[in-house]
Structure 1
Amino acid sequence: MSRLARTLCSLHGLLGIWLAYCTVQQFRYGEAWAAIVFAAASIVPVISVVRESELADEQQAEAIRAETEARRLAWADEDAAALARAELAAACCELWWTSTGEDHEATCPKNDHRSAA
């Protein structure tokens, strides 16, 4: 949870305590309908704190999910690059590469001349 979210939750908690205090004072010295309104209003900050906590948990879970996906993609990119390096290293010569493995250059070490016999 971020510092701002913690501060907001603390302010909501203080507001809930203040509204609960007002509820008790209204039940003791004031009108009954006002006490009911204060009691209902003191529930709202509690809901806000719960909501902020859930949002912080969801943000943390999303950050972990994004990091995991980025690592997976990085590993896949590294695997593809390693495969490409291996294929390029196994290639004989440019003529072999462009002729799809049928012909070799004269200087190619894998240039094996087969007789037609």
Structure 2
Amino acid sequence: MKDEGPDALPLAIVLKAAPDIGHYAADPLQSWQDLTTMADFVRPMLGITAENWQFARQRLGDRTARIALACILQRFSAIRNPGAYLRRLTLVEDFRPGPMVMALLRSADPARG
């Protein structure tokens, strides 16, 4: 499955890059299950249909889809149609979320600005 392996991202890095998803939680996100819960909670707020979400999870893998959703939420103001954006990501052959996460980390780093 795409979610595991040597290029799997640590949760702490994902949350550092995309902290906005944690704003919806009553307590700090500390596990992949916590991210799962929050992704399922914010998905409809982003206008991502249940069908599109299910397709993304099947095509990308659960963890990768949730990382992508957290990144989409982080850039929500710059993404006109989050559902279409997610759908487009599912069509990318061998999609990996690492570049998305790293781009967010670089954009948040004031030393790079």
Q: TM-score with structure 2 length normalisation?
A: 0.19
More helix per residue = 1
Structure with the bigger RCO (C-alpha within 8 Å, sep 6+) is 2
- Greater C-alpha Rg: 1
